[in-house]
Structure 1
């Protein structure tokens, strides 16, 4: 179902914050994809027109976190192997990273982690019947986009994140709103809407920290729930096996994520073994 946010909430969320605009290359690619018979050669040429973007695409698709069996050496090969929709999702994420950046290592680490989690989420989606691989990848890249934007706006926002992560049963967003009168989930939702991402991705971003997203109380769509669930598994695996740190997300939402995806304990163990062999 489509979600709406009250005008006063939007005004408060965006007070003094600029949402990055969607660049022309994405508009051109999406225009081609909307055709009855889209041409992958045109999509590849649009990517190749930007040398920096082409290099970033090749670096991403050839990384172990995307898991291609064979290295690709051109944007045209990437579009052919991955498909136009997947290639577009990767391009969207890379452009977003360029649009929402800043000084210092913290934001670089944020985007590196986001791309790694996206690769893991894409693999998890492949193991689920009719799993939304493309949307899972895009969701993992976008779902925390409000964090670097708020980091740019508020010098003490990293401290807010630490407080929110260690707040126990207190909602993550409540800590953010108390300190900054906004929260990264609502801001991320507005960015995703502004970039015309699929509704399920927008909706999932809005509720990705809320365990109630898996109940009927919030009325969140099944596809958005699936994206949230996949992302919970991907983030927890990444934190525990790559960053080698404990995560509070599993205690909050892990059991609901497994239940929604219909994974038994044995199937989850098998999934972790597969992810470990590929990524850890």
Structure 2
């Protein structure tokens, strides 16, 4: 390694040490330990969750929402687990713990989590329809996709300006703009958090590549990761449409590659987005 390369690596390591990555919550550690058993117990998982009254109430509210709720309403955490399944409840709880762990401006964070929740909903819908990934993986990826953004907002005073530039850049990828200004980007930070929290490798790698649309045409990249990235491009277009923006820059950059990877025509993608738009309004 050259002296210049060594200095650059040292600077990158110092930068990462200066960025506070929230530690994995102890409740998540306990939950993952139970999920790692050969035969996870819904009753034991319910006991773990019951140790946090706020988490219990929030999980029940999500489980009984129109999108996740069944014909029967869960009256306890254990019922929610039995109705929805262990993995789906674990994914919902992981998202709730992330929301609890991230610091920042309350108003801005509420908006961020609203968009993240909508992205998670969209990716579950798309994954079920196209059989891209298990619902819990799709949901977790959707929630954690942009988790690096509030972390970097806390680290860099001018990061909001970076977001504005990256969101409006036609010629450069979102993460390229971040890299130029801060020597890191929200996808890299999100991947780091996902690994530290013990999330699925598919989730962490998809987070890392979700603005790198070249991977969609790269056969060396695992198909599960490429499918999640492709789904995120569809989800982003749906979210932009829901917010009244008929166009999406991310769709312009990666839409064609995403559809090609998913084996969808432009008309099929449009039909799917129409259905997703209706789902957003039902959930709202």
TM-score, normalized by the shorter chain, greater than 0.5: yes
| Deviation of the 1:126 alpha carbon | 0.8
Shift, 1:134, TM fit: 1.3
1:266 deviation in Å? Answer: 3.8
Tell me the equivalent position of 1:112: 114
The CA deviation string for residues 198-218 of structure 1, in whole angstroms up to 9 with x for no partner, is: 11111111111011111228x
Q: Give yes or no for contact 1:135–1:227 (8 Å, CA) kept in 2.
A: no
Report the CA distance between 1:270 and its aligned residue. 3.1
Q: Distance in 2 between matches of 1:15 and 1:36?
A: 36
RMSD of aligned Cα (Å)? 2.0
1:12 and 1:182 in contact (8 A); partners too: no
2:91 is equivalent to residue 128 of structure 1: no
* Residue pair 2:138, 2:228 contacting (<8 A) in 1 also: yes
* Structure 2 residue ranges without an equivalent (≥5): 1-7
Please state which structure has a larger fraction of its residues in helix. 2
Cα shift readout 1:253-276 (whole Å, capped 9, x = no counterpart): 111112212223343233223223
Give the structure-2-normalised TM-score. Answer: 0.89
In structure 1, the partner of 2:217 is 215
State the shift of 1:10 in Å: 5.6
Q: State the alpha-carbon separation in 1 of the partners of residues 45 and 32 from structure 2.
A: 9
Question: Equivalent residue for 1:232?
Answer: 233
Task: State whether residues 121 and 136 of structure 1, in contact with CA within 8 Å, keep that contact through their aligned partners in structure 2.
Answer: yes
Instruction: Figure out how many residues of one structure are paired with residues of the other and give that number.
Output: 272
Change (3 A) 1:239 1:12: farther
Q: Distance in 1 between matches of 2:11 and 2:102?
A: 22
Which structure 1 segments of 5+ residues have no match?
A: 1-5
- After superposition, the C-alpha distances for 1:102-130 in whole angstroms (9 at most, x for unaligned) are 23311111011101210121111111236
Aligned pair partner of 2:84 in 61, 70, 82 = 82
Instruction: Out of 130-139 and 204-213, give the one that drifted further.
Output: 130-139
- Which has the bigger relative contact order, CA under 8 A and spacing at least 6? 1
Once the two structures are superposed, residues 130-167 of structure 1 have per-residue CA deviations (whole angstroms, 9 ceiling, x without a partner) of: 63321111001111111000111122211111101112
TM (norm. structure 1) is 0.90
